[in-house]
Amino acid sequence: MSEQGAVRISAFGALKQLVVTGNVLLHLPEDGGMRAFQLDRYVVQRDAVGNVLDIVVLEDLAPATLTKELQAFLGYDVEAEEQGDKKISRDQTISLYTHIYREKDVWEIYQEIAGKVVPESFGTYPLEKTPWIPVRFSKCENEDYGRSYVEEYLGDIKSLDGLSQAIVEGSAIAAKTVFLVNPNGTTDPTSLTKSPNGGVIAGNEKDVTVLGLNKYNDFRVALETMKDINGRMAQAFLLNSSIQRSGERVTAEEIRYMAQELETALGGIYSILSQELQLPLVQRIMFVMERAKKLPVLPKGAVKPVIVTGMEALGRGNDLNKLQQFLTILNSTVGQQVMQERLNIGDAITRVGTALGIDTVGLVKTDQEVQAAQQAAQQAQQQQANAAMMHQAVAPAVNQAGGILKQRMAHADNKELAAQAPQGQAPEAA
């Protein structure tokens, strides 16, 4: 659903808006897709707890996209030849205002154009399934809008920008080459300027010098300061290079520890995004799929989506690390054989799947299924053993019966030959 409706592309842009401005408004229409409105295109009002009460959205529409009925209602005529009150150019835009407000347990919505309410724009949405989702990066008490992640490091960003500008401008000045000629010397500046590469002119070497800034140490101080700020910014924005120290022997445990520390520091951000972005997004997509009959309508209260992220997901990650350490220590101290005797393998597999957020139902065999498989294998093995025993018992009897049959057939052949031979002549041995 998200891939067909191109939700991922708009969600990526929305997340960048959250990092920079701290606020973004998402719209998920029923025909699919998702739109992300910047902070200058909407306003929102919340109560003291943070619940959304009102949203007003501004959109710019092209006149040609309006229906004939709506153009007639607004008094616009795109195809009119003469200029007049009803004439509007195709190059102009029309401001469309959408008002979404909370009324008890539903969302009410209507639209206005040029101060006139659009008649067919009235509608309602369930409280938890609205297509309009205002998202904040961080929660501020008694404020309608959130704060951005960039705002927390605004000082470093300004300092880095100023140092970078100073170094770039100084480098441009230092790259300029200017020759100074002693006015009281014997070297002619004009001859020096016009001389070709490798040319010979009359002059004194001491009369000509190159202008230099001699600001290398000052630039180096600025460069070292920039490197320090870059390191802090890289850690703040979770760059991979920030969690790996410079050295030949960097262990995986060091990188894992640093990454876990940085993710733990952002646990609160994950928590608010799970409640104000991911959960409403999932509920809206499920609602649209139910109305499109792509998903069966589930009984009310039977299924409730739960976003596993934030501190809860970080806690599960810590549980997984502890479980891995526990199994590693047991394997190195008591050995694998003792682990198999004392450890409940089925429960260990279930805990690993739970820590990773994987549903193990139907994927991992239960104890009853394992026992039934073992019993079936034992029965098959017993049947093979019984068949082998029967073969060993029957084979000698069959061989003995075959020998007796051969003797009887030979005796019968001898009698037949004796009967066919002339009297007084002995029959040939068979």
| Inside any domain, residue 396 | yes
One domain for residues 341 and 216: no
As a residue count, the chain comes to: 430
Query: Between 1 and 142, whose confidence is greater?
Result: 142
| Inside any domain, residue 45 | yes
Residue that is last in its domain, among 246, 265, 284: 265
pLDDT for 430: 43
User: Predicted confidence band at 81 (pLDDT cuts at 50, 70, 90)?
Assistant: very low
Tally of domains in the chain: 4
| Inside any domain, residue 295 | no
pLDDT for 139: 85
Query: Between 333 and 238, whose confidence is greater?
Result: 333
Query: Between 397 and 213, whose confidence is greater?
Result: 213
One domain for residues 70 and 134: yes
One domain for residues 132 and 32: yes
| Inside any domain, residue 125 | yes
One domain for residues 250 and 355: no
**405, two tokens:** 């049959």
The label of the residue with tokens 């320090």 reads 228
One domain for residues 383 and 422: yes
| Inside any domain, residue 312 | no
User: Predicted confidence band at 240 (pLDDT cuts at 50, 70, 90)?
Assistant: low
Asked whether residue 5 carries a pLDDT value surpassing 60, the answer given is no
One domain for residues 379 and 356: no
| Inside any domain, residue 122 | yes
Rounded CA separation 147/143 (Å): 10
Asked whether residue 284 carries a pLDDT value surpassing 50, the answer given is yes
Residue that is last in its domain, among 238, 265, 292: 265
One domain for residues 380 and 392: yes
One domain for residues 33 and 131: yes
One domain for residues 329 and 416: no
Whole-number average pLDDT of the chain: 80
pLDDT for 214: 83
Q: In degrees, to the nearest 5, what angle opens at C-alpha 107 toward C-alphas 272 and 67?
A: 115
One domain for residues 109 and 22: yes
- pLDDT, mean of residues 350-367: 79
One domain for residues 102 and 60: yes
Range in 110-124, 185-199, 245-259, 285-299 with the lowest mean pLDDT: 245-259
- pLDDT, mean of residues 248-271: 65
SS (H, E, C) the chain: CCCCCCHHHHHHHHHHHHHHHCEEEEECCCCCCCEEECHHHEEEEECCCCCEEEEEEEEEECHHHCCHHHHHHHCCECCCCCCCCCECCCCCCEEEEEEEEEECCEEEEEEEECCEECHHHCEEEECCCCCEEEEECCCCCCCCCCCCHHHHCHHHHHHHHHHHHHHHHHHHHHHCCCEEECCCCCCCHHHHHHCCCCCCCCCCHHHEEECCCCCHHHHHHHHHHHHHHHHHHHHHCCCHHHHCCCCCCCCHHHHHHHHHHHHHHCHHHHHHHHHHHHHHHHHHHHHHHHHCCCCCCCCCCCCCCCCCCHHHHHHHHHHHHHHHHHHHHHHHHCCHHHHHHHCCHHHHHHHHHHHCCCCCCCCCCCHHHHHHHHHHHHHHHHHHHHHHHHHHHHHHHHHHHHHHHHHHHHHHHHHHHHHHCCCCCCCCCC
Asked whether residue 239 carries a pLDDT value surpassing 80, the answer given is no
Residue that is last in its domain, among 95, 121, 150: 150
| Inside any domain, residue 270 | no
Asked whether residue 173 carries a pLDDT value surpassing 60, the answer given is yes
Note the pLDDT tens digit of each residue in 42-63.
Answer: 999 999 888 999 999 999 988 7
User: Predicted confidence band at 101 (pLDDT cuts at 50, 70, 90)?
Assistant: very high
User: To the nearest whole percent, how much of the chain has pLDDT over 90?
Assistant: 18
Domain that holds residue 95: 7-150
Rounded CA separation 279/271 (Å): 11
**By C-alpha distance, which of 5, 4, 24 is closest to 273?**
24
Asked whether residue 41 carries a pLDDT value surpassing 90, the answer given is yes
One domain for residues 82 and 132: yes
User: Predicted confidence band at 83 (pLDDT cuts at 50, 70, 90)?
Assistant: very low
Rounded CA separation 193/214 (Å): 25
pLDDT for 193: 87
| Inside any domain, residue 276 | no
Asked whether residue 357 carries a pLDDT value surpassing 60, the answer given is yes
